[in-house]
Amino acid sequence: MSITVRKHNNFDGVYLITTEDGSTKLATINLAPGRSVYNERLIVIEDKEYRLWDPYKSKLAAAIMRKIPNVPINSNQKVLYLGAASGTTVSHVSDIVGDEGCVYCIELSFRSLRELLSNVCTFRRRVFPILADARFPDNYRILLEQVDVIYCDVAQSQQAKILADNATMFLKAGGVAMLSIKARSINATKSLSEIFRGEVDVLKEKRFKIRNITPLKPYDKAHTMVTAEFLG
């Protein structure tokens, strides 16, 4: 069976590739041709190189596979990424926003930031690594500008508050945030539904209008993705 590619109907910069075995995979066009970030497969079709996007390694890909109705990340946008880690999802976000957009990456772990720098930032001129704690946005205020989107994937106990504090400082009014809620980083004893509801309530209190809530099971069992518009 031949390999085919088509644009995703709902999301800018996201593609669906049907591979040799007939399965359909998510993909983005590689902004750094010839280089993979996490040993993902590279496929060249009609002079364009695509990177397969693994939903078991990226919560954003998992949300798309779970049919999230809206992903606010588009070409040419400025994105603030909280909890960038070693850059798996960051690299696909970079593919989507392209050379005219940019991704500001906040990461607390020096080891993870070093991997992000060597595997992603070195080969993508508009991905900016910042070693910082997302709980204290004032510490990196001088390094950032207003952004269109905040993507938050931090393993902290007050995830919605961290997102809201950064939004107050950096997200333009009418901008959109995506929060990947890691329930077990918040509380190990409460029910998942109680934890998710509590984080959503915090966002509402902080002037966010909830667009959708998408559980990520089976890709991530104790995670859910919340997309919300910042009212400013």
What's the confidence (pLDDT) of residue 49?
A: 97
Residues 206, 166 contacting (CB under 8 angstroms): no
- If we measure between CA atoms, which residue out of 170, 169, 48, 43 comes closest to residue 102? 170
- Tell me which architecture the domain covering 4-54 has in CATH: 2-Layer Sandwich (3.30)
Residue keyed to tokens 């005219």 = 100
Of the CA atoms within 13 Å of residue 82, those in its CB half-sphere come to 31
- Domain boundaries along the sequence of the chain: 4-54, 60-230
Tokens for 231?
């009212």
Burial letters 121-141, b for 16+ CB under 10 A, else e: bebbebbbbbbbebbebeebe
Whether 188 shows a pLDDT value over 70: the answer reads: no
Bridge partners (DSSP) of residue 42 are 51
Instruction: With H, G, I as helix, E, B as strand and everything else as coil, classify residue 101.
Output: coil
Q: How much is the mean pLDDT over the chain?
A: 93
- Strand order of the sheet with strand 15-18? 4-7, 15-18, 24-29, 48-53, 42-45
The answer to pTM > 0.75 is: yes
Please state the rounded mean pLDDT for residues 5-20.
93
Instruction: With H, G, I as helix, E, B as strand and everything else as coil, classify residue 225.
Output: strand
DSSP summary character for residue 220:
S
CATH code for residues 60-230: 3.40.50.150
Q: Is 203 exposed, middle or buried (0-12, 13-18, 19+ CB in 10 A)?
A: buried
Whether 192 shows a pLDDT value over 80: the answer reads: no
Whether 31 shows a pLDDT value over 70: the answer reads: yes
- If we measure between CA atoms, which residue out of 157, 161, 154 comes closest to residue 132? 154
Express each pLDDT in 60-85 by its tens digit: 999 999 999 989 999 999 999 999 99
Query: Is the pLDDT higher at 115 or at 221?
Result: 115
- Rounded CA separation 107/157 (Å): 16
- If we measure between CA atoms, which residue out of 111, 51, 101, 55 comes closest to residue 81? 101
- Residue ranges of alpha helices (H) inside the chain are 59-65, 88-97, 110-119, 159-170, 183-186, 192-205
